[in-house]
């Protein structure tokens, strides 16, 4: 939808005057201006009498080609208060033409502060942008450049929690989840918006929390609590216990529960059993992450309170639920080898291309600390052996959320969640990039982004 009025286009010698500040052969109704609410996005709009193609080049970026008579290009990835030089390539139906000019972006206001304290440009992973959910007051979805400048944002005045965000596969529409901050009201949903912040769709996700993931072909998986009665021998009666499950939406948005902690794990009491985190009952498993791996079509399903990770195999079915390929930690799972650091209250387990297992781990006690652990996995002996640890001795403590991923160039990106710090380490363990949230804010999910037009 174009936001500006359209007039007949002309080109070449037929254009008697260009819009202010432009040179070359410009469409007569060319309009170039920052977006009204996301002022770092420059909109370029015009029309042609016949269907034709156009694109805009600015800096090292060329927008996707548009074909038709109504043309709208969005110049993405610019910081605020920046002069953007652009060249429009278009065709008036008879010949190829070009038009050049500049536009100045508007600066954002009212966003959470995000500051970069370490920046070794030559040692970074090559992705120029980071997509973030920033939790706190105010809340926002942000895309920042590596200098920490917001180049895109979406914000609402809400008490809801939105920890997880991702681009729709292959495009730059975005998904994000929502649920109640105290888990007392069931308002779970996954929403989608376009890059201009317009609402596209919303699907209800009953009892959902923490995370969702895309599986391709429009299928989405998400986490829910699964509350059931359990006979407590100490109390001599049934009590309500909160487990966790994975539900999948198919392409028709039909929800199906595919596995629950109740299907495969034995209930037992632990130190956080009487936590008030969930008002629905005793907090047994405290599921906190699910990560899908397309190569094996499996989930890593993390239960923070029982130090257990299940590798859920979507290709097998046992007793009406997905099968378990492997279990790490917990009762009966792969154990940690002698001399290796054990994982506790883990978050965001992930299997890398070389088969290693990474995760956020938090050691509790008098001086709690959160680190990123990486293990090699020996299936023959069912053991995990530590090969790397990041953040040890820095005193960072994430009581919630967090991510740890090995990157394609060998670096490691560590998001310390509620500690409000994200760090990137080189292969030698040296800190090469660090960003931290302002007072009262912290990070949900974070993704390195290479292309804002294709969302990848």
Q: Write out the two tokens for 355.
A: 């088969």
429 and 374, same domain (yes or no):
yes
Q: Considering only CA atoms, which of 43, 45, 49, 42 is closest in space to residue 11?
A: 49
Number of domains in the chain: 2
Q: Are residues 350 and 367 in the same domain?
A: yes
- Token pair of 290, please? 């699910």
Contact 347, 399 (CB under 8 A): no
370 in a structural domain: yes
| 454 and 346 part of one domain | yes
Final residue before a domain boundary, out of 48, 81, 104: 104
Summarize pLDDT for 146-187 with one digit per residue, the tens.
999 999 999 987 778 888 899 999 999 999 999 887 888 888
Average of pLDDT values for 221-250?
Answer: 95
Token pair listed for 456? 């990848």
160 within a domain of the structure (yes/no): no
pLDDT > 90 in the chain, percent: 79
Whichever domain contains 25, its CATH number is: 2.60.40
Sign of CA dihedral 436, 78, 410, 169: positive
pLDDT at 6: 31
Residue 310 lies in a domain: no
- Give the Cα separation of 121 and 444 in Å (integer): 24
> Is the whole model's pTM more than 0.75, yes or no?
yes
| Residues 53 and 126 placed together within one structural domain of the fold | no
pLDDT band at 257 (very low <50, low <70, confident <90, very high): very high
Alpha-carbon gap, residue 174 to 425, rounded angstroms: 28
SS3 content of the chain, % helix, strand, coil (to 5): 5, 50, 45
Query: Are both 127 and 67 inside the same structural domain?
Result: no
Would you say 36 and 43 are in contact if contact means Cβ atoms under 8 Å apart?
Answer: no
For the segment 250-269, the average pLDDT, to the nearest whole number, is: 92
Kindly state whether residues 125 and 58 are assigned to the same domain: no
pLDDT tens for each residue of 89-101: 999 889 999 999 9
Q: Report the distance separating Cα 27 and Cα 6, nearest Å.
A: 11
Query: Is the predicted pLDDT of residue 201 greater than 60, yes or no?
Result: yes
Alpha-carbon torsion (455, 166, 80, 128), positive or negative? negative
Query: Is there a domain that residue 252 lies in?
Result: no
Report the distance separating Cα 415 and Cα 448, nearest Å: 11
Q: Are residues 59 and 120 in the same domain?
A: no
Q: Are 276 and 242 in contact (CB under 8 A)?
A: no
Q: What is the distance between the alpha carbons of residues 454 and 244, in angstroms, rounded to a whole number?
A: 33
Q: Read off the pLDDT band of 11 (50, 70, 90).
A: very low
Residue 302 above 50 pLDDT?
yes
Is the model's pLDDT at 10 over the cut of 80?
A: no
- In this structure, the answer to whether residues 141 and 50 fall within a common structural domain is no
418 lies in some domain: yes
Q: Give the mean model confidence (pLDDT) for residues 236-261.
A: 93
Report the distance separating Cα 373 and Cα 359, nearest Å: 6
Confidence band of 14 (pLDDT split at 50, 70, 90): very low
H or E element in which residue 100 lies: strand 96-104
In this structure, the strands spanning 412-415 and 282-283 are: unpaired
- Same domain? For 84 and 117 the reply is no
Question: Distance (Å, rounded) from C-alpha 70 to C-alpha 59?
Answer: 24
Domain boundary among 85, 104, 123: 104
Flag whether 100 is in a domain.
yes
Rg of the chain (C-alpha set): 25
DSSP string for 202-243: EEE-TTEEEEEEEEETTEEEEEEEEEEEEEETTTTEEEEEEE
d(Cα 30, Cα 252) in Å, to the nearest integer? 40
How much is the pLDDT for 136? 83
Place of tokens 């002069």: 83
Choice between 162 and 194, residue whose per-residue pLDDT is larger: 194
Token representation of residue 205: 């996700």
Asked whether residue 33 falls in the same domain as residue 131, the answer is no
Same domain, 44 and 126: no
Integer Cα distance of 71 and 115 in angstroms: 36
Which residue, among 12, 9, 3, has the nearest Cα to 32 in the 3D structure? 3
CA distance 192 to 175: 4
Residues 25 and 86 in one domain: yes
Q: Provide the 3-class DSSP secondary structure of residue 454.
A: coil
Does residue 50 lie in a domain region?
A: yes
Q: Residue 444: CA atoms inside 13 Å, Cβ hemisphere, count?
A: 25
Q: Which domain holds residue 41?
A: 12-104
Of 46, 69, 104, the one marking the end of a domain is 104
Establish if 38 belongs to a structural domain.
yes
């Amino acid at each position: 939808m174009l936001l500006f009025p359209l007039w007949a286009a002309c080109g070449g010698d037929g254009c008697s005057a260009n819009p202010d500040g432009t040179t070359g052969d410009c469409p007569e109704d060319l309009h170039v201006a920052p977006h009204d609410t996301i002022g770092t996005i420059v909109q370029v709009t015009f029309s042609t009498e016949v269907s034709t193609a156009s694109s805009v080049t600015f800096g090292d970026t060329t927008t996707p080609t548009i074909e038709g008579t109504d043309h709208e290009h969005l110049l993405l990835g610019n910081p605020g208060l920046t002069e953007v030089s652009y060249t429009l390539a278009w065709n008036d139906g008879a010949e190829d033409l070009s038009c050049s000019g500049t536009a100045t972006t508007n600066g954002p206001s009212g966003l959470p502060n995000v500051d970069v304290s370490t920046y070794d440009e030559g040692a970074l992973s090559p992705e120029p942008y980071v997509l973030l959910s920033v939790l706190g007051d105010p809340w926002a979805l942000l895309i920042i450049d590596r200098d920490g400048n917001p180049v895109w944002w979406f914000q609402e005045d809400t008490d809801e929690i939105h920890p997880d965000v991702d681009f729709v596969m292959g495009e730059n529409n975005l998904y994000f989840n929502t649920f109640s901050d105290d888990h007392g009201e069931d308002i779970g949903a996954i929403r989608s918006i376009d890059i201009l912040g317009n609402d596209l769709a919303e699907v209800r996700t009953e009892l959902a929390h923490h995370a969702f993931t895309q599986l391709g072909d429009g299928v989405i998986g998400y986490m829910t609590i699964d509350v059931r009665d359990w006979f407590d021998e100490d109390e001599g009666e049934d009590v309500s216990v909160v487990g966790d499950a994975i539900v999948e939406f198919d392409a028709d948005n039909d929800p199906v529960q595919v596995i629950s902690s109740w299907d495969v794990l034995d209930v037992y009491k632990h130190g956080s059993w009487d936590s008030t985190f969930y008002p629905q009952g005793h907090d047994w498993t405290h599921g906190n992450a699910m990560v899908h791996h397309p190569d094996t079509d499996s989930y890593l399903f993390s239960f923070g309170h029982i130090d257990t990770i299940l590798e859920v195999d979507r290709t097998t079915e046992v007793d009406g639920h997905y099968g378990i390929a492997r279990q790490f930690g917990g009762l009966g799972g792969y154990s940690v080898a002698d001399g290796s650091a054990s994982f506790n209250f883990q978050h965001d387990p992930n299997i890398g291309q070389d088969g290693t297992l990474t995760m956020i781990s938090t050691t509790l006690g008098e001086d709690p600390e959160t680190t990123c652990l990486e293990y090699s996995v020996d299936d023959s002996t069912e053991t995990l052996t530590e090969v790397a640890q990041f953040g040890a001795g820095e005193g960072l403590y994430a009581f919630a959320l967090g991510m740890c991923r090995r990157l394609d160039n060998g670096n490691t990106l560590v998001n310390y969640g509620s500690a409000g710090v994200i760090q990137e380490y080189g292969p030698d363990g040296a800190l090469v990039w660090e960003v931290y949230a302002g007072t009262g804010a912290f990070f949900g999910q974070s993704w390195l982004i290479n292309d804002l037009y294709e969302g990848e």
